Structure 1
């Protein structure tokens, strides 16, 4: 694989009332690693197992390179969430697995640091990302999946206007185990309604 120079994602910052979204940068390492370490126990039930070096600077550099490659290929638009008043990192949200052709769809994934959970911040982030996905990225369908026991995520998706479609059996390996996921979707026309 050819090493690409660190690219700047083409995605612009997205401004909200309490927060803004912008593509991750190498300079975010310290804030990211601190928040992730602080939130590890809170996040681990909902994420793949973390590699032993997951919070190391080299692993973060690799993550940023991967984000930049996906953004350059048009297959993902990763963002970090920052609080407006002090630019503190709150979490992350990604429009990924973008498929073109006859599908024109993508998958939304997200995480928020434990100190910021339950404050409606991810709902605001979704409110910024959804119109961006339909108008700027020009997708027709958005999907999101969550573990059936993740009641917070289910409420978040339903509040944001996603519709529950069904159960994906043994869909992703989360926290070391293959887990069923509920599939949610939103179609471009749903936003206008």
Structure 2
């Protein structure tokens, strides 16, 4: 690996008014509020349990979840971020399924509160995360899988110039059913400079 696989993130992961940082237990309250009050916005894109063992929407207590996510970070299996705007938490972004061995790959997922959508926050946050995963974690490949109906997320990967790899049928259980996803990816050798610079091209 070319960099550390665990530990605190540097404080300089930001561009202008947008930033990402490692999630903390103190973030639970604001994230729970978004998840509770923004059901119409977030519900159609949330992962669900195929056996129907789903909590009441917005009722999840996040502190134990955050503890598990931070443990995964310490083990090198994921990187759980929050997205910030002017220093305030506005959503969540996670790098998960980080693989070593012959693969060196990871997957990114994210959500942002509706009141902050459309301000260009998420593309910058995703670019920052990918640059971190390549330069610090040392990954070779990062992918993002998106439901075909999620036009806002599709615009993000388009802005960042991620390569389309195809449709995965019935890939993830979302909003109560198995849903198709479009798969996009980028490898480190495809990035000349940084992902963040692609937004300025």
Q: Tell me whether the two structures share a fold, i.e. TM-score over 0.5.
A: yes
In structure 2, the partner of 1:66 is 68
> Cα distance, 1:109 vs. partner?
0.5
Alignment match, 1:24: 23
Contact (CA 8 Å) 2:98, 2:106: kept in 1 or not?
A: yes
Higher relative contact order (CA 8 A, sep 6+): 2
Q: Distance in 2 between matches of 1:75 and 1:9?
A: 12
**Contact persistence 2:37–2:58 (CA under 8 A):** no
1:53 CA displacement: 7.3
Corresponding position of 2:77: 75
Q: How many residues align?
A: 182
Q: Offset of 1:18 from its aligned partner?
A: 1.1
Corresponding residue number in structure 2 for 1:154: 154
TM-score computed with the length of structure 1 as normaliser: 0.88
Q: How far apart are the structure 2 equivalents of 1:121 and 1:32?
A: 16
Map 1:98-137 → 2, pairs under 5 A: 98-137=98-137
Bigger Cα displacement from structure 2, 110-119 vs 18-27: 18-27
Could you tell me how far apart the structure 2 residues matched to 1:97 and 1:43 are? 22
How far apart are 1:54 and its partner, in Å? 5.0
Distance 1:141 1:192 in 2: 14
Moved over 3 A (4+): 53-56
3-state secondary structure, aligned to 2:191: helix
- The answer to whether the 8 Å contact 1:79/1:94 transfers is yes
- The runs of 5 or more residues in structure 1 that have no matched partner are 1-7
CA contact (8 A) 2:108 2:144 kept: yes
Q: Distance in 2 between matches of 1:80 and 1:192?
A: 26
Residue in 2 that maps onto 1:138:
138
Map of 2:56 onto structure 1: 52
Matched, 1:177 2:177: yes
1:109-152: per-residue Cα shift (whole Å, max 9, x none)?
00000101111100110121111111101000000101111111
Is contact 1:79-1:92 (8 Å) kept? yes
Aligned to 2:9: 11
With the length of structure 2 as denominator, give the TM-score of the two structures.
Answer: 0.85
Offset from partner CA, 1:45-73 (integer Å, 9 cap, x none): 111246227544xx312111111111011
Q: Which residues of structure 2 form unaligned runs of 5+?
A: 1-5, 49-53, 194-201
